[in-house]
Amino acid sequence: MWEPRKIDNRLFLEAVLYRYRAGISWRDLPSRFGDFRVIHTRFSRWPKTGV
């Protein structure tokens, strides 16, 4: 069964990995990953939650 949360998590992780592999800023992420501000905010929360 299709689970939107799993797809969202995978897309988020792919965006983070893409950014580091390409050596680009958050702002330069391709639009296929969605709004870069949402991805950056979610990524910024990781240290606060101990990820």
pLDDT tens digits for range 1-51: 556 677 688 999 999 999 999 999 999 999 999 999 999 999 999 888 887
Question: What is the C-alpha separation between 37 and 11, in angstroms, rounded?
Answer: 14
pLDDT attached to residue 1:
52
For the CA atoms of 17, 22, 23, 28, what is the dihedral angle to 10 degrees? -90
pLDDT at 15: 96
pTM, to two decimals? 0.81
Q: Where are the domains of the chain?
A: 4-49
